[in-house]
Amino acid sequence: MKIEDIKVFVCCPGRNFVTVKIVTEDGTYGLGDATVNGREMAVVTYLTEHVVPCLIGRDAHMIEDIWQYLYRGAYWRGGPISMAAIAAIDMALWDLKGKAAGLPVYQLLGGKSRHGVTLYVHANGADVDDTLGKAEGLINQGFKAIRLQSAIPGLPVTYGVLGDKKDYYDLQGNRPVPPEETWSTQKYFAMIEGLFKQARDRLGDGICLLHDVHNRLTPIETARLGKLLEKYDLLFLEDASLAENPQSYDVIRNHTTIPLAIGETFNSVWDCKYLIENQLIDFIRAAATHAGGITALRRIADFAAIYNVKTAPHGAPDLSPVCLAAHMHLNTWAPNFGIQEFVGFGNDDMQRVFTHDMRLDDGMVYVSEAPGLGVDFDEDAANEYPYKRSYLPVSRLEDGTMWNW
């Protein structure tokens, strides 16, 4: 199965996506997602200049060797750009191997551990009442786990939420310079317990609740937040503090039993290692696109299982359906899968470009049974949605200090 060509596409059907297509000499192709939000063109150059020329003519069946060649063979290892490039190649090779074998990728990983994949979805509101109204709407659609985010009174814009009730994600593909948001830990603490108290009063105890702090708190503030929210029985608290210094999580864990999840920006098993082997987290959120593909995520899942840590892959709007499909195969196989973040299958434009038969039913997604990953990419449709430079917001304190500690 000789690699004959590798194409790299960038399109913006609502959000920017970088898609890799590996074509073998018999015309079979495999797809991979290489999207790094706000840095898309850096990955395109990395791939076209530094990866593609080294892979032409190689045997597409040699997934492991190609992964090791791109990772260990490079003097400059790791980081989001190189790992997204490796990830996309890796996904495309698994897609190809599945097509060659006539099997969906989860079968190549070891087969099904479950019949469907449980999801958590987002309720983002302009105030507590709006957030809980949205949560009720999602529960009525069958979802069993809801992430609650509410605007903070006194702050103009909060990460994940817009005060004017617009859909936060609608803007994701149209921010040519990073918008600025303001953060106040004091104002956040004045709001947050009320959100979860009212949520339990209104939504009852039968629903899983989650919350994402987007790394806005210091470790000791997270410890305080954990203690405050323990009685509301969250499935997990996501990205409460950064783990650039992973020992920060010793501080948090010494104070609270709230389940912790982190890892959506992690790029390798090395980023996960200390947190997992010291049992400082309960869910690892590494994504196939950003942590080196299916090959790397399978290793992270196995390592996590030894320490009772479950997987909860990142599922933001800026991961393409190819990444979701890769997660679906891993989630269907991994014995220690926990939950998948889910923001829908995308708008109509996205669904023209990426086609698949993953099925949403009663709060769960069901993996495609098609050989490979089970996603296709319409190049002509993609060409109708050219790349638009766009960024995630940056965060400052009320006095102007850059934040995210």
Nearer to ligand KDG, 69 or 391 (CB): 391
CA–CA separation, 168 and 180 (whole Å) = 14
- What are the beta bridge partners of residue 125? 150
Binding partner of residue 318 among ligand KDG, Mg ion, none, CB under 5 to 8 Å per kind? ligand KDG
| Structural contact between residues 34 and 84, judged by C-beta atoms closer than 8 angstroms | yes
Q: Which region, judged by CB under 5 A, interacts with Mg ion, from 62-70, 111-119, 179-187, 210-218?
A: 210-218
Nearer to ligand KDG, 317 or 371 (CB): 317
Residues 6+ apart with CB under 8 A from 113: 332, 333, 334, 335, 337
Residues 6+ apart with CB under 8 A from 193: 228, 229
Cα angle for residues 329, 67, 301 (degrees, 5° grid)? 40
Binding partner of residue 392 among Mg ion, ligand KDG, none, CB under 5 to 8 Å per kind? ligand KDG
Of these, 33, 95, 181, 318, which contacts ligand KDG (CB under 6 A)?
318
CA neighbours closer than 13 Å in the CB half-sphere of residue 260: 29
Total residues in contact with ligand KDG, by rule CB under 6 A: 10
H or E stretch covering 262: strand 260-262
Nearer to Mg ion, 248 or 295 (CB): 248
Of these, 316, 352, 366, 393, which contacts ligand KDG (CB under 6 A)?
316
What's the min distance (Å) between Cβ of 400 and ligand KDG? 23
Closest CB to ligand KDG belongs to which residue? 316
H or E stretch covering 302: helix 293-306
Which member of 214, 290, 314, 327 is catalytic?
214
Which residue type, as a one-letter code, is found at position 63?
Answer: I
* Max CA distance (Å), the chain: 62
- What are the beta bridge partners of residue 120? 341
314 catalytic? Reply is no
What's the min distance (Å) between Cβ of 212 and ligand KDG? 5
What's the min distance (Å) between Cβ of 238 and Mg ion? 5
Which member of 159, 168, 169, 188 is catalytic?
159
Rule CB under 6 A: say whether 221 interacts with ligand KDG.
no
Q: Which region, judged by CB under 6 A, interacts with ligand KDG, from 181-189, 240-248, 269-277, 309-317?
A: 309-317
Of these, 35, 37, 268, 331, which contacts ligand KDG (CB under 6 A)?
37
CA–CA separation, 366 and 324 (whole Å) = 11
Binding partner of residue 253 among Mg ion, ligand KDG, none, CB under 5 to 8 Å per kind? none
Of these, 40, 95, 212, 349, which contacts Mg ion (CB under 5 A)?
212
Tokens of 5: 């060509």
Nearer to Mg ion, 30 or 80 (CB): 80
Tokens of 38: 């706000």
CA–CA separation, 144 and 356 (whole Å) = 24
Q: Which long-range contacts (CB under 8 A, 24 or more apart) does 73-80 make?
A: 78/267, 78/268, 78/270, 79/267, 80/36, 80/39, 80/265, 80/267, 80/290
What's the min distance (Å) between Cβ of 226 and ligand KDG? 18
CA–CA separation, 82 and 88 (whole Å) = 10
Binding partner of residue 341 among Mg ion, ligand KDG, none, CB under 5 to 8 Å per kind? ligand KDG
Nearer to ligand KDG, 99 or 122 (CB): 122
Of these, 303, 392, 396, 405, which contacts ligand KDG (CB under 6 A)?
392
Rule CB under 5 A: say whether 318 interacts with Mg ion.
no
3-state secondary structure of 35: coil
| Structural contact between residues 287 and 267, judged by C-beta atoms closer than 8 angstroms | no
Range list of β-strands (E), 294-338: 310-311
329 catalytic? Reply is no
Rule CB under 5 A: say whether 95 interacts with Mg ion.
no
Q: Please give the full DSSP string across 228-253, using - where no structure is assigned.
A: HHGGG-EEEEES-S--SSTTHHHHHH
Rule CB under 6 A: say whether 95 interacts with ligand KDG.
no
What does the binding site for ligand KDG look like in residue numbers (CB under 6 A)? Answer: 37, 212, 214, 264, 314, 316-318, 341, 392
Report, as residue numbers or ranges, the catalytic residues.
159, 214
What does the binding site for Mg ion look like in residue numbers (CB under 5 A)? Answer: 212, 239
